[in-house]
């Protein structure tokens, strides 16, 4: 069993590609939120704070003190602190994208992002929770520098946190499906019908489900089956790609159709982790070809 | 790294993965599968870094609604209006813009209020007094609306005396409708 963890890490190309796409998406997300950073991240913003137990000494707060900084009462005096986190997140995402100080960037991107997400929690969804977890695991996955003991140790860390990353996504799907099995609306097939009637999710896409039980049941049971099957089917090479394509359509429906954009898109991004290296190379080549043809087309 | 040490660290890594995955599994599983008493045992490791809840859309949300607000100053007031109306509109057009987060914020305020009212068995249009009011004020939704009201008052360029919040609610399953008025919040 130890060999699985000590063997040379084979998925660095995949992780590098995944990290690039993830950082690019996070950067887009961070920039799109700039008009409302005060509302969601400031101490006296619209979402309030998660609270800070001042009875517990700082050192006894444990890891919470590192990820709940923006809820500390000192922020009521120094009301500009959240700006450092917003700017820091953007700066280190750019550095991370260009692979400058990758280790430092990975740690600081995690710290800035998790603090911002903790502070603005009421305006966010499970997508941000997944981002927090993924960024944490990515802090430990890097190119081994050399063949010294540190290189070997880095290699073991890479294997370890890569498996945890994959497992994290499977847990998400499995339990998301299992929770639904305990709900009458999902079991009866009405869930999508009810959800599509909520004004926050209204769109031409969801309108078709509002009064159509059959479509609602088909969509609901498909979603349920997909979530429950994901942790098992995603490892089967033959059906993996069509299965993931269904997932991409499913999450585009959530992102664009229902408007839960961050969650839908981040779920599509994590699918990169389940592709083979050859498939990653194929995607990269397609990107390059498209870029080249665009450059040739423009004078 | 010496081969012997490498094997040892490899085994430690394996044990860590098993431990981490088991804790995550226990923490994130529905309570019907893994009782809360076991979840409490792993919370020291999970909280807060790995805390997660994947009960996405379960139970299925059935309460639709929108928040309305009145802001009272010393001498005048801003009458009842829908503070998120613009964001919900732009969210329906531009997916992925900042309006989405504010629209989600409103939907979460509606969700938690609906959940509290259901849990406390209050009707949508029920006027709260005495014990019922005290019970409501202990709920999660009151805290969230209170924080929202404080945030709004801080954004104003003159002193706010109180913020009144209400929520127009509709159960899309039963068609029950009503407007729930929260107690006025003094600033």
Share above pLDDT 70 across residues of chain A, in percent, rounded to a whole number: 97
Using alpha carbons only, how large is chain B's radius of gyration in Å?
23
* Helix (DSSP H) and strand (DSSP E) numbers for chain A: 15, 0
**Mind telling me how many Å the CA of A40 is from chain B's nearest CA?**
9
Confidence of residue A297 (pLDDT cuts 50, 70, 90): low
Using alpha carbons only, how large is chain A's radius of gyration in Å?
21
Residues 212-251 of chain A with CB under 8 A from chain B are none
Cα four-point dihedral sign A161, A162, A164, A165 = positive
Chain A residues touching B175 at Cβ < 8 A: none
Give the 3-state secondary structure of B125-183: CCCCCHHHHHHHHCCHHHHHHHHHHHHHHHHCCCCEEEEEEEEEEEECCCCCEEEEECC
Q: Reply yes or no on whether the pLDDT at A64 is more than 90.
A: no
Q: Which helix (H) or strand (E) holds A11?
A: none
Nearest-CB residue to B9 (from A126, A136, A153): A153
Chain B residues touching A153 at Cβ < 8 A: 1, 9
Pairs of CB atoms within 8 A across A/B: 200
Whether residue B128 lies within 8 A of chain A, CB to CB, comes out as no
Summarised one tens digit per residue, pLDDT across range B53-88 is 999 999 999 999 999 999 999 999 999 999 999 999
Chain B residues touching A39 at Cβ < 8 A: 102, 151
pLDDT score of B128:
83
* Chain A nearest-CA residue for B96: A261
* Chain B nearest-CA residue for A163: B17
CA atoms within 13 A on the CB side of A88: 19
Q: Could you give the maximum distance between any two Cα atoms of chain A, in Å?
A: 66
Contact, B61 vs A198, CB < 8 A?
Answer: yes
Confidence of residue B187 (pLDDT cuts 50, 70, 90): confident
Q: How far apart are CA B100 and CA B91, in angstroms?
A: 5
Confidence of residue A298 (pLDDT cuts 50, 70, 90): low
pLDDT score of A284:
86
Contact, A202 vs B66, CB < 8 A?
Answer: no
Q: How far apart are CA A295 and CA A288, in angstroms?
A: 10
**Mind telling me how many Å the CA of A191 is from chain B's nearest CA?**
6
Q: Reply yes or no on whether the pLDDT at A150 is more than 60.
A: yes
Chain B residues touching A50 at Cβ < 8 A: none
* Chain A nearest-CA residue for B63: A198
Summarised one tens digit per residue, pLDDT across range B145-186 is 999 999 999 889 899 999 999 999 999 999 999 999 998 999
What's the token pair of residue A70? 């923006």
Contact, B58 vs A179, CB < 8 A?
Answer: yes
Contact, A224 vs B57, CB < 8 A?
Answer: no
In degrees rounded to 5, what are phi and psi of residue A252? Answer: -65, -35
In degrees rounded to 5, what are phi and psi of residue B180? Answer: -100, 120
Chain B residues touching A124 at Cβ < 8 A: 101, 104
Q: How far apart are CA A145 and CA A150, in angstroms?
A: 8
Q: Reply yes or no on whether the pLDDT at A145 is more than 80.
A: no
Average pLDDT, whole number, for chain A? 92
ipTM: 0.92
Contacts of B48 (CB under 8 A, 6+ apart): A63, A64, A67, A68, A118
Summarised one tens digit per residue, pLDDT across range B25-64 is 999 999 999 999 999 999 999 988 999 999 999 999 999 9
Q: Count of CB atoms within 10 A of residue B14's CB?
A: 20
Whether residue B147 lies within 8 A of chain A, CB to CB, comes out as yes
Contacts of B4 (CB under 8 A, 6+ apart): none
pLDDT score of A242:
95
């Amino acid at each position: 069993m130890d060999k699985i963890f000590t063997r040379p890490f084979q998925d660095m190309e995949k992780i590098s590609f995944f990290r690039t796409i993830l950082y690019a998406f996070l950067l887009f997300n961070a920039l799109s939120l700039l008009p409302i950073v005060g509302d969601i991240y400031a101490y006296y913003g619209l979402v309030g704070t998660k609270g800070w137990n001042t009875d517990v000494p700082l050192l006894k707060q444990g890891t919470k003190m590192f990820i709940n900084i923006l809820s500390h009462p000192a922020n009521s005096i120094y009301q500009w602190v959240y700006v450092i986190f917003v700017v820091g997140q953007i700066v280190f995402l750019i550095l991370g994208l260009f692979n400058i100080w990758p280790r430092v960037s990975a740690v600081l991107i995690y710290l800035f992002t998790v603090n911002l997400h903790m502070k603005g929690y009421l305006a966010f969804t499970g997508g941000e929770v997944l981002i927090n977890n993924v960024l944490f695991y990515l802090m430990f996955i890097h190119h081994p520098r050399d063949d010294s003991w540190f290189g070997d140790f880095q290699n073991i860390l890479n294997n370890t946190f890569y498996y945890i990353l994959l497992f994290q996504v499977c847990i998400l799907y499995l339990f998301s499906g299992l929770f639904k099995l305990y709900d009458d609306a999902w079991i009866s097939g009405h869930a999508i019908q009810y959800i599509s009637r909520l004004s926050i999710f209204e769109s031409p896409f969801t309108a078709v489900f509002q009064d159509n039980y059959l479509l609602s049941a088909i969509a609901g049971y498909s979603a349920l089956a997909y979530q429950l099957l994901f942790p098992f089917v995603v490892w089967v090479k033959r059906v993996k790609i069509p299965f993931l394509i269904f997932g991409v359509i499913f999450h585009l429906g959530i992102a664009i159709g229902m408007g839960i954009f961050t969650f839908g898109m981040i779920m599509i991004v994590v699918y990169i982790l389940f592709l083979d290296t050859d498939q990653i190379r194929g995607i990269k080549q397609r990107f390059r070809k498209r870029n080249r043809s665009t450059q040739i087309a423009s004078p | 790294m010496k081969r012997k040490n490498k094997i040892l660290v490899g085994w430690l890594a394996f044990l860590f993965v098993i431990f981490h995955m088991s804790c995550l599994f226990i923490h994130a599983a529905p309570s019907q599968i893994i009782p809360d008493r076991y979840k409490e045992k792993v919370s020291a490791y999970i909280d807060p870094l790995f805390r997660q809840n994947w009960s996405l859309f379960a139970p299925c949300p059935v309460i639709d609604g929108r928040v309305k607000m009145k802001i009272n100053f010393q001498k005048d007031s801003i009458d009842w209006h829908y503070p998120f109306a613009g964001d919900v509109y732009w969210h329906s057009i531009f997916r992925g813009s900042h309006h989405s987060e504010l629209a989600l914020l409103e939907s979460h305020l509606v969700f938690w209020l609906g959940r509290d009212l259901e849990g406390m068995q209050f009707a949508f249009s029920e006027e709260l007094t005495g014990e019922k009011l005290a019970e409501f004020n202990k709920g999660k939704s009151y805290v969230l609306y209170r924080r929202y009201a404080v945030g709004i008052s801080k954004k104003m360029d003159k002193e706010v005396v109180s913020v009144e919040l209400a929520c127009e609610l509709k159960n899309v399953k039963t068609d029950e409708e009503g407007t729930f008025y929260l107690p006025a919040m003094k600033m």
